[in-house]
Amino acid sequence: MKGRAIIEESDRYLMRTYDRFPIVLKKGRGIKVWDVDGKEYLDFTGGIAVNIVGHCHPNVVRAIQRQAEQLLHVSNLYHIEPQTSLARLLCTNSFAEKAFFCNSGAEANEAAIKLARKYAKECYGADRFEIITALNSFHGRTLAAVTATGQEKFQKGFEPLMPGFRYVPFGDADAIEGAITKNTSAVMLEPIQGEGGIIIPGEDYLKKVREICDKHKLLLILDEVQTGIGRTGRLFAYEHYGITPDIMTLAKGLGGGAPIGAMLTTEEVSSAFRPGNHASTFGGNPLVSAAAIATLETVLGDGILDHCNKMGTYIIKRLAQIRDYYPEQVVDIRGKGLFTALEINRDGMPVVKRCIERGALINCTAGNILRFMPPLTVEEGDIDHLVSVLKRVMG
Ligand SMILES: *Cc1c(COP(=O)(O)O)cnc(C)c1O
């Protein structure tokens, strides 16, 4: 088998930062992927919320092909047409007025943290630098982002961490107000915690947080790296809650598979960054910007968000049948759009492994939470297939 040889070589030459499943994926179309030995899988992991319009969507592939023939990369010392078009598309479809591009979610959050500090120091004084974040959050692996991440398991061994962060329980607006000091500059949250287990806060949480931020002159940073680009059934998750943030970060689904991150903000807040303050060599280069434009236009067109909401309702309905089958195992079913989870009362990893053997790629997060983040183009038949696999492997 080809796969086995590649896995042996991976083990030999790659750093062991991932505990990988023993399959080697080679090709993808829509929700389907194939391994090097020809086995087919339905991908309900979606590259961890990246393949938002499915694998190798023709619009994205064509945009990359065309751009690759034209211009792959030029420096941000010059103007880049696809980057400008992407910024316009993001700003005209969100609260934002200005965009900065980078290469990943962690980098987008780094940019947000730097901007929040700079803005608050300039407006209110040098001692305004602290950022309040949530316990059980996830903001990435760079040193500032991993410090913002309110989970010790990601921080252990990398101390000393960045100074200037405080943690509060997620979903509790009063806890935020209680954690504010004379040093606080911003509050940074995921609208729905992803890595933490698809934790959906109460309906009025973000509204209350927005009010607290306004009252105390704090910036509200929303990390929409996982929830953005249609995942929850709206283009951005904040739209569900009747508020807007001051800064929003994006990555994962933004490039439809191309590595790109973005930090979006208002004209007013963006003014704290002046030439030379922040930069990225690759950020928003022609190739990834072209991929992101094609991805966004696809998500915004063709009723895909409506479809996402319909399929989100359908998957929850079908997962409820799993609960009827195994009431003793299922703790909770929850989701928004196609950001969905089945919480079980035991380690989820054996279920994930058995699903893979039976041709369904799913993810487990926070130990016992099975997470489903298929492309927004997923069909009822795909969900039926997933549910039949789950029924078999959980029995
Ligand atoms: C994945 C994720 C990140 C980190 O993104 P990278 O591209 O891996 O750096 C940050 N925030 C959230 C909410 C995420 O889900």
Catalytic residue flag (residue 35): no
Q: Ligand 1 center to residue 321 CA distance, Å? A: 32
> In the chain, what are the helix, strand and coil shares in percent, each to the nearest 5?
40, 20, 40
Q: What is the pLDDT of residue 190?
A: 98
Q: Ligand 1 center to residue 139 CA distance, Å? A: 5
Q: Is the CB of 223 inside a 6 Å radius of any atom of ligand 1? A: yes
For residue 101, what are the contacts with CB-CB under 8 A and spacing of at least 6? Answer: 83, 86, 87, 260, 261, 262, 280, 283, 284, 289
300-312: burial string, b at 16+ Cβ within 10 Å, e else: eeeebbebbbebb
Q: Ligand 1 center to residue 125 CA distance, Å? A: 30
Task: Return the number of other C-beta atoms located less than 10 Å from residue 281's C-beta.
Answer: 10
Q: What is the pLDDT of residue 303?
A: 94
Catalytic residue flag (residue 223): yes
Q: Is the CB of 283 inside a 6 Å radius of any atom of ligand 1? A: no
Q: Is the CB of 195 inside a 6 Å radius of any atom of ligand 1? A: yes
CA distance 67 to 285: 10
Q: Ligand 1 center to residue 141 CA distance, Å? A: 8
Contact 14/338 with Cβ under 8 angstroms?
no
Q: pLDDT of the chain along its 395 residues, tens only?
A: 799 999 999 999 999 999 999 999 999 999 999 999 999 999 999 999 999 999 999 999 999 999 999 999 999 999 999 999 999 999 999 999 999 999 999 999 999 999 999 999 999 999 999 999 999 999 999 999 999 999 999 999 999 999 999 999 999 999 999 999 999 999 999 999 999 999 999 999 999 999 999 999 999 999 999 999 999 999 999 999 999 999 999 999 999 999 999 999 999 999 999 999 999 999 999 999 999 999 999 999 979 999 999 999 999 999 999 999 999 999 999 999 999 999 999 999 999 999 999 999 999 999 999 999 999 999 999 999 999 999 999 98
For residue 93 the two structure tokens come to: 């479809």
Substitution site in 195, 248, 288, 365 for ligand 1 pocket (most atoms within 8 Å of beta carbon): 195
Contact 48/339 with Cβ under 8 angstroms?
no
Q: What is the pLDDT of residue 1?
A: 73
pTM score of the predicted model: 0.98
Q: Which of 35, 252, 336, 382 is catalytic?
A: 252
Q: What is the pLDDT of residue 269?
A: 98
Q: Which of 35, 43, 223, 246 is catalytic?
A: 223
Strand order across the beta sheet in which 25-29 lies: 25-29, 32-35, 40-43, 360-361
Substitution site in 18, 189, 222, 225 for ligand 1 pocket (most atoms within 8 Å of beta carbon): 225
Contact 37/2 with Cβ under 8 angstroms?
yes
CA angle 102, 108, 113 (to 5 degrees): 135
| CA distances (Å), origin 28, targets 34, 40, 231, 357 | 6, 9, 20, 18
CA distance 24 to 356: 12
Q: Which of 44, 138, 165, 236 is catalytic?
A: 138
| CA distances (Å), origin 85, targets 64, 230, 253, 300, 376 | 15, 19, 18, 15, 23
CA distance 247 to 263: 7
